[in-house]
Amino acid sequence: MPVNFRVELIWQEREDTEAESIFLTADGRVILQGRGISAQEREALKLPRDADLISVDRNLIRAIKDML
């Protein structure tokens, strides 16, 4: 299936700091790159069991503020 037009945004505060990607999709969604939360983490942190959760670094938050 062909890729529809899609934009990946990457923010660098300095040469050596690169935030994870922000993807803008053709259907209007904003997809953030992060790390999935394991069952053990959900249990330890008392997080919702069934929700789709990701952990993102603070650079990505700054990128969202600055780029979107």
Partner 1 sequence: MFLRNHWYVAALDEEVRERPLGRTLLGEPIVLFRAGDGTLHALENRCPHRQLPLSMGKVVGDALQCHYHGLRFDGAGNCVRVPGQDHIPQNARVRTYPVVERYRWIWVWMGDPALADPAQICDFHWLQDPDWGAKPSYLHVEANWQLIVDNLLDLTHLAFVHETTIGNMALVEHAAVKVQRSPNGVLVTRWTIDQPAPPTFVKVGKFAGNVDRWQIIDYTPPAFLRLDVGACPTGTGAPEGRRVGGISMRNLNAITPETETTSHYFWAQAHSFEPNNPDMTERIFQQIKTAFLEDVAVFTAQQRMIDLRPDAPQVDINADAGGIQARRIVDRLYREEQEAAAHATAAE
Which stretches of the chain bind partner 1, using CB under 8 A? Answer: 2-15, 24-26, 66-67
Q: Residue 10 or 47: which CB sits closer to partner 1?
A: 10
Question: C-beta of 26: minimal distance to partner 1 in Å?
Answer: 7
Kindly tell me which of 29 and 46 has the beta carbon lying closer to partner 1.
29
3-state class (DSSP) for residue 23:
strand
Task: Please say which residue, 2 or 48, places its beta carbon nearer to partner 1.
Answer: 2
Q: Which residues contact 11 (CB under 8 A, 6 or more apart)?
A: 18, 19, 22, 59, 60, 62, 63, 66, 67
